[in-house]
Amino acid sequence: MAVSEQERDYMRRLGEHEAEVHAKRLAEHLALDLEERLQRSFMLAWRFRKAVRQHAREDDPGAIYERARALGLYRP
């Protein structure tokens, strides 16, 4: 299927727009203080807590904590 120059130009502009929006959101995020970032992170996690598959975790950090406990680097 042939792609017209008009279609290429549209996709190029769309990509540029998405990059600008991403850069703006990143700058806004980085401008927040740590407490605000943590609060927003918590609220996002709380909002989607029911959608998370608790029993299907592939990124379980349990082994990291066990190793840290064994080395005396972490105490709950």
Residues 6+ apart with CB under 8 A from 29: 37
Average pLDDT, the chain: 89
pLDDT for 12 equals 96
Question: Does the pLDDT value for residue 11 go beyond 90?
Answer: yes
Give the CA dihedral 25, 29, 31, 32, nearest 10 degrees: 140
pLDDT for 57 equals 64
The pTM of this model reads: 0.52
**% of the chain at pLDDT higher than 90:** 58
Question: Does the pLDDT value for residue 76 go beyond 90?
Answer: no
Model confidence pLDDT, tens digit, residues 35-70? 999 999 999 989 988 887 666 667 778 888 899 899
Nearest to 42 by CA among 59, 58, 34: 34
